[in-house]
Chain A
Amino acid sequence: MTRLWCILGLLCASAALPLAAQEMESTAPYAYRQLDDAQQESEARALMESLRCLQCQGQSIADSDAPIAGSMRSLVRERIAQGEKPEAIRAWLIERYGDYVSYAPRVSRLTWPLFVLPLALVLLSLLLLRNRFHWRRPA
């Protein structure tokens, strides 16, 4: 019986380890704390989901546990709370880190083909299809 308790205790301890690791909280005030105003929090949330974490680059700052993502969330929340527009915050970050920090694509001198090419391809395919189909007139 005592052995069973030992095993149970070990299991609980091993389960508690990752919890202890997560307790390392950020020194940025709003890294893990939501804004009191639900409307502002949802605005901040939407922006955070479209900003790239600078360390774990496949993740948005809303998803990432990297320390710098905590700072970025805190920055976003504090500025939204001060009444700043989300797009202004995005522009501030792009000014410092380049387009890479944002997941929302912008039309620029470099990226316009990405927007024009699909349209051109659709037009081309329509033209090709028109030549392909011969509409038979009703007799």
Chain B
Amino acid sequence: MTTPLLEKLQNSRNVLGLVFMLPAAVLLLLFLTYPLGLGVWLGFTDAKVGRPGQWIGLENYIFLAGDSVTQLALFNTLFYTTIASAVKFFLGLWLALLLNKNIRFKSFFRAVILLPYIVPTALSAIAFWWIFDSQFSIISWGLVKMGLIDTYIDFLGDPWNARFSTIAANVWRGVPFVAITLLAGLQTISPSYYEASAIDGATPWQQFYHVTLPLLTPIIAVVMTFSVLFTFTDFQLIYVITRGGPLNATHLMATLSFQRAISGGALGEGAAISIAMVPFLLAAIMFSYFGLQRRAWQQGGDDK
């Protein structure tokens, strides 16, 4: 009789599986799932640091919807994410294509290019703070010496300058990630496609548009989803370089929630700002999901 034996095996699998899952599950339930739920709850309360809150329904959200600083932070976050992600995509793709060519010192280039991504962001952000200094900026110095400008640029004192400066720092940090992951995708494309299309008389641009891009689309979808996710929830760069200033011009949702909840002590309000970010993140994850579906479909697999 094999059925009871199989059943027993299945049972022991379940018991053993539970035991093996236990350490990870306990930690994640306690420090990830529970706080997520707690965050949703806090968003509906007027909790302050050191004082449990009372249920106040949608009051936080109603207040935030009418709060001009929160509106500005939402605008900044969307602006920051859109511009930075787009620039990261184009520069990253360009860099990946360059690295995919038959060049000398390829592995050296590839290794060195990833450096901005692996060092602590908070620390490289300090370097950018110094590079963007209003009095001693090396960029201003260079431009003055070249005769392009007369006075030093106030990189972080003017709202729009500050926005673009922080976007530049974010792009600097994110381009290596996009480039290296896209390079991995490029390397899976067989050279025979390029040879065949070259024999058929395709120009390099046509090769890029009709061979590279379609074959790279699935990985682009995934990489850009991650990139959007990280950019949208960015905290370190802004906190270190501008602290949200000048005049809240660079506050993102994440830095604003920190300011309200931790510096200001209004836990409930800060949690509500965090939770308000979730719909946008879900949109990004859906995008990733459909990107993966398309990948399976392209490889001739069925949608599971």
Q: Do A and B come from one complex?
A: no
Interface residues in chain A, defined as those with a beta carbon under 8 Å from any beta carbon in chain B:
none
Interface residues in chain B, defined as those with a beta carbon under 8 Å from any beta carbon in chain A:
none
